Amino acid sequence: MTRAAPAPIRVIIVDDQAMVRAGFAALLAAQADIDVVGEAPDGRQGVAVARSTHPDVVLMDVRMPELDGLAAAREILDPPVGVVHRPKVLMLTTFDVDDYVYEALRAGASGFLLKDAPPADLIAAVRVVAAGDALLAPSVTRRLIADFAAQRPVVRRDPALRLNGLTPRETEVLELIAKGLSNQEIAGRLVLAEQTVKTHIGRVLGKLGLRDRAQMVIFAYESGLVAPGA
């Protein structure tokens, strides 16, 4: 019996530059597993389009008129009562050091991508985020998140209570993720199978009530488990 092909990834593009929207739309629509189901020129319209089209992934520019990308992402990721659909949000930025990025990750965005990234990176990013992973490369974790965390005081949100729910091994995995190690690197450091590392990550996400790897990094810094610059 032949299995049905998986449904295409539904994407909307929210950017105030028409040429950027058109270029991204043409690139993504050319992929057999991606459908571009909507576009918007600002954050306010982006929220409306997201609510009406139910995309899997929202490509969201950071800086826009009417409602910036950060505020729009917050509305999409924290919908009003009765709205159950919650897509993944991938932030688009012009600069690799952008103060909005840290706040976007805290708001629940699944990662960010530079607008001038190679086309193959954009396509891969949509697929990664749609699959439920965070687009937060280890190099980005080391450079960007630590830099942003260093600029802010640590916010301790009952870390003892929440971290005490983790096993020592789960705490180690969380700490290494926050320090920028990939799953493969964590497996080598702790002498574990990579699948075991993935299992530990899943348990940490569940115990801490976090959405993805990006939020794990933020929690590790804000709870004080990892010191900025460590």
Average the pLDDT over 78-84 and give the result: 69
- Is residue 24 a contact partner of residue 122, using CB atoms and an 8 Å limit? yes
Residue 121 clears pLDDT 90, i.e. is over it:
no
Of 95, 100, 81, 82, which is closest to residue 43 (Cα–Cα)? Answer: 100
Greatest extent of the chain over all pairs of C-alpha atoms, in Å: 58
CA 177 to chain centre: 14
- Is residue 85 a contact partner of residue 79, using CB atoms and an 8 Å limit? yes
What pLDDT does 1 receive? 53
Residue 9 clears pLDDT 70, i.e. is over it:
yes
pLDDT digits (tens, 9 = 90+) for 131-170: 776 666 555 555 555 565 555 555 555 555 577 889 999 9
What pLDDT does 203 receive? 93
- Is residue 92 a contact partner of residue 59, using CB atoms and an 8 Å limit? yes
Phi-psi region at 123: left, alpha or beta (left = phi > 0; alpha = psi -120 to 50): alpha
**Which residues have C-beta within 8 Å of that of residue 176, sequence separation ≥ 6?**
185, 186, 189, 190
3-state secondary structure of 131: coil
Question: Among residues of the chain, what percentage have pLDDT more than 70?
Answer: 77
CA pair distance 86, 183, nearest whole angstrom: 26
- Is residue 72 a contact partner of residue 104, using CB atoms and an 8 Å limit? no
Question: Among residues of the chain, what percentage have pLDDT more than 90?
Answer: 35
More confident: 47 or 109: 47
Least confidently predicted of 13-17, 33-37, 66-70: 66-70
Q: Domains in the chain, start-ordered, CATH in brackets? A: 9-135 (3.40.50.2300), 147-222 (1.10.10.10)
pLDDT digits (tens, 9 = 90+) for 53-64: 999 999 999 888
What pLDDT does 173 receive? 94
Which H/E stretch holds residue 36?
A: strand 34-40
**Which residues have C-beta within 8 Å of that of residue 180, sequence separation ≥ 6?**
138, 139, 141, 142, 146
Report the relative pairing of strands 34-40 and 111-114 from DSSP bridges: unpaired
Which H/E stretch holds residue 87?
A: none
